[in-house]
Structure 1
Amino acid sequence: MNIVSSRLIAIANMVSDGENIIADIGSDHAYLAIYLAKSAKVKKIFATELNDGPYEITKTNIRNFGVAHIVEAIKADGLKWIEDKKISISSVIIAGMGTTTILKILENDSKFIDCFILSPNTDAFKIRKWVKNKKYFIEDEKLILDNEIIYELIKVNKYAGKKIKNYKDLFFGPILRKTSKDNRLFTQKWILEEEKYTKLLTTIPNDNLNFKKYTKLKKIIGKYINKELKYGKAK
């Protein structure tokens, strides 16, 4: 199916075979939900939209692709409907949004949710910080190149996986950084991040409140990546 990008396919691959119920929050016309339904990976998928227009398109797509027996469109804001309906969800997918928006949605985390599959457009550090504060685990992490942008994909499990123990785990991911030796995208991503902060520092005065913050971030990234390039795997 060419309606899904490489990023969405990578997200779909993070869904375990046989998961009972999935919810895709802000489903972008249900293309990922349709892909999952066609691949027969899950038994039930809720595709949510907040606004009337996307919601109507989502319903039309579900009907046209013949997956209405698996995919159900829900008009709802974030996760609130899960608690209201008391539906047990295996995995909630939130992707294609900014970190601030995702964290706002996660404020309505529910005991009815087992896992989250998260792919923020930027700043996965804050996502991992949320995971650490909640005492959850990282089940899986991936990097994917899509339309010349490197995205992080994080599967959060409430009950099992890797703990986030230190700042290296927060920045680079407890799984990604341990498998970085064979991951060209990992090194590429963080070289680009270091370059971004280098450019930022040339545009702001030394007494700017962000100057110290950006300098620290650049130093952390640079030190880690230099070790990565020198030894093949940062410890």
Structure 2
Amino acid sequence: MKDIESLLSPRMMMVSHCVKPCEVVYDIGTDHCYIPIYLIQKGICKKAVATDIRQGPIDKALENIQYFNLSEEIKAFVSDGISHVGEKANIVISGMGADVIINILSDHMDYAKKAEQLVIQCQSRTEHLRSFLWENGFSINKEDLILERAKVYNAFSANYIGKVESFTHTEAVLSKYLISSKHPLLQNYIIKHLKKNEDMIKGMKKSNQSYQQLTLIKKEMEKIHEESKNY
């Protein structure tokens, strides 16, 4: 059997490792369909459905599905959102920004709540996505980081528990899970957000409420950064 593993980037591999064993996995915004192919080849999932909002990525996905002889196991078609998923589904959403992912989940909240697992890899504004999930009764039960081309990427697993979780803004930025699990790449992740925080503070008036909030968050992140040096 041809092996897909060599084609997966570290980011894609991290996402794949977050997926629990299941009957069917749904890959939203699939692009090349590498993740579903990997999950089927490794026996993690028995079947897969790969979708994208554009025909081009689906055509490429279908080529790869045929190349790896998985036409019986994987279906690929154009679709917007997650309204096509079954109950108790394992859903992968990766390579998108927080606003797009939040829109997908908000537009189909009933499907998101019924999912067995949401595996999400967010490219930007991840703190907004974490906040959205916690405020809407979801729990983040696993989170991972990977270093790829000098950039830190994150992915996490979540599911609906019907309970709103309390959190601070710093916990939303750095992830309560990553802090408590003492992830080995946490320092890298903190440095990334400290730089972003400092860039936002520049040019703000000290009397500005946002300035005061960002300064407080910076101090909290610096404290966690110092503590993480002992991990």
TM-score tier by shorter-chain length is 0.7 to 0.9
Residue pair 1:21, 1:88 contacting (<8 A) in 2 also:
no
Alignment pair present for 1:45 and 2:43: no
**What amino acid maps onto 2:154 in structure 1?**
E
- Does structure 1 conserve the Cα–Cα contact (< 8 Å) formed by 2:114 and 2:160? no
CA apart distance, 1:178: 1.2
Asked if 1:135 is matched to 2:134, the reply is no
Q: Give unmatched runs, 5+ long, in structure 1.
A: none
Looking at both structures, which has the greater relative contact order when contacts are Cα pairs under 8 Å and sequence separation is at least 6?
A: 2
Matched, 1:11 2:15: yes
Q: Which residue of 1 aligns with 2:95?
A: 96
Q: Is 1:76 paired with 2:79?
A: yes
1:155 corresponds to:
157
Q: Over residues 32-52 of structure 1, what are the superposed CA-to-partner deviations in whole Å (9 max), with x where a residue is unaligned? A: 111111112111111001112
Per the normalisation by structure 1, the TM-score is 0.84
Distance between the aligned counterparts of 2:165 and 2:147, measured in 1?
Answer: 24
Q: 1:49 to 1:211 in 2, by over 3 A?
A: same
On the 8 A contact 1:23/1:89 being kept in 2, the answer is no
SS in 1 for 2:185: helix
- The match for 1:125 is 127
Secondary structure at 2:8 match in 1: coil
Match of 1:165 in 2: 166
DSSP 3-state at the match of 2:84: helix
1:23-34 alignment to 2 at 5 Å? 23-34=26-37
Structure 1 match to 2:217: 217
* CA deviation vs aligned residue, 1:127-154 (integer Å, no higher than 9, x gap): 2212211212222111111222111111
Runs of 4+ in 1 over 6 A off after TM superposition: none
* Cα displacement string for residues 2-29 of structure 1 (whole angstroms, at most 9, x for unaligned residues): 2111111111111123x11110100012
What is the CA–CA distance in structure 2 between the aligned matches of 1:102 and 1:66, rounded to whole Å?
31
- Conserved 8 A contact 2:186-2:228: no
Q: Does 1:55 align with 2:58?
A: yes
- What is the rounded CA distance, in whole Å, between the counterparts of 1:71 and 1:40 in structure 2? 13
Pair 151,163 (structure 1): closer, same or farther in 2 beyond 3 Å: farther
| Identity percentage of aligned residues | 23
Q: CA contact under 8 A between 1:14 and 1:117: conserved in structure 2?
A: yes
Equivalent residue number for residue 196 of structure 2: 196
Whether the aligned pair in 1 keeps the contact of 2:139 and 2:161 (CA below 8 Å) is yes
SS at match of 2:77: strand
Change (3 A) 1:209 1:66: farther
2:23 to 13, 20, 23: 20
For the aligned residue pairs, the C-alpha RMSD in angstroms reads 2.4
| Kept after mapping to 1: 8 A contact 2:145/2:155 | yes
> Counterpart of 2:25 in structure 1: which amino acid?
I
Deviation string 1:68-93 (CA, Å, 9 cap, x unpaired) is 111110210011223xxxx2243111
Task: Give the 3-state SS of the residue equivalent to 2:121 in structure 1.
Answer: strand
CA distance in 1, matches of 2:164, 2:103: 23
On the 8 A contact 2:137/2:161 being kept in 1, the answer is no
Shift of 1:208: 7.0
